[in-house]
């Protein structure tokens, strides 16, 4: 199974709050965010890890180059600035058309044991044809602009919403998908859509069977204070 990382954001809020390092190189518990994801993905049967970073983050591109040249990680990466995370996924999609993949943003923080079970579950779903996608969700809501996820009693996803009167789950930014999803992504790009949440809505509209997988908690590193929250959450 492949893994993909969107590390193309500018991390402007972190910079404004005095965090000098580019977001992918920010350390949580002494480990850079990008290195943590690569390590976790390698521990979960990664056949290939695909990463995008932007053109302004030269230190990130150099770090990825060093990892690639060391030869211990099956890494592919692209350096390109994009207008949205959905466009970043589009740049990675050329490598994601031949086997199931899990994609995350670089600042997604989760417990490793939960992720292992999630990855195994998604691989089983994909191999059996039981589902076209397994999306990581959480009922822990600590996000400035959360994407609410509607589900039925069997954790089938029924929709993605910007607002919700009685929220149960929000997106955790962990997307397990089969190559079938790339056709939907292509159509989104062709009609000028942007943002990952609109791509997810399009997956539902196109009739793909998406299941939700509940993580106890998923955090993002958007503010300097989130680094301490993540370290406390991970017990670092």
DSSP secondary structure letter of residue 54: -
How far apart CA 111 and CA 234 sit, in angstroms, is: 7
How far apart CA 8 and CA 64 sit, in angstroms, is: 13
Q: Is the pLDDT of residue 136 over 90?
A: yes
- What tokens does 30 get? 């002494």
pLDDT, one tens digit per residue, over 184-197 is 999 999 999 999 99
Cα Rg of the chain, angstroms: 17
Q: Which CATH number fits domain 2-234: 3.40.190.10, 3.90.550.10, 3.30.1490.480, 3.30.565.10?
A: 3.90.550.10
> Bigger pLDDT: 13 or 150?
150
- Of 2-11, 57-66, 115-124, 128-137, the poorest mean pLDDT is in 2-11
pLDDT, one tens digit per residue, over 84-119 is 999 999 999 999 999 999 999 999 999 999 999 999
Please choose, from the candidates 102, 236, 67, 69, the residue with its C-alpha nearest in 3D space to the C-alpha of residue 175. Answer: 102
What is this structure's pTM? 0.95
Name the residue with tokens 């299941």: 211
SS3 66: helix
pLDDT, one tens digit per residue, over 151-174 is 999 999 999 999 988 879 999 999
């Amino acid at each position: 199974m492949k893994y993909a990382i969107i590390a193309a954001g500018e991390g402007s809020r972190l910079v404004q709050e005095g965090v000098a390092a580019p977001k992918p190189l920010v350390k949580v518990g002494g480990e850079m965010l990008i290195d943590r994801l690569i390590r976790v993905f390698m521990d979960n049967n990664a056949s290939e890890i695909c990463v995008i970073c932007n053109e302004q983050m030269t230190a990130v591109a150099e770090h990825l180059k060093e990892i690639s040249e060391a030869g211990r990680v099956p890494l592919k990466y692209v350096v390109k600035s994009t207008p949205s995370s959905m466009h970043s996924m589009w740049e990675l999609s050329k490598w994601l058309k031949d086997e199931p993949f899990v994609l995350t943003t670089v600042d997604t923080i989760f417990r490793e044991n939960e992720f292992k079970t999630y990855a195994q579950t998604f691989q089983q779903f994909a191999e059996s044809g039981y589902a076209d996608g397994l999306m990581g969700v959480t009922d822990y809501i600590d996000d400035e602009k959360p994407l609410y996820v509607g589900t039925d009693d069997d954790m089938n996803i029924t929709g993605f919403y910007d607002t919700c009167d009685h929220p149960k789950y929000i997106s955790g930014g962990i997307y397990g998908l089969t190559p079938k999803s790339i056709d939907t992504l292509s159509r989104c790009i062709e009609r000028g859509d942007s943002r990952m949440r609109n791509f997810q809505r399009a997956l539902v509209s196109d009739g793909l069977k998406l299941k939700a997988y509940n993580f106890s908690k998923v955090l993002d590193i958007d503010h300097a204070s989130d680094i301490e929250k993540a370290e406390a959450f991970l017990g670092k």
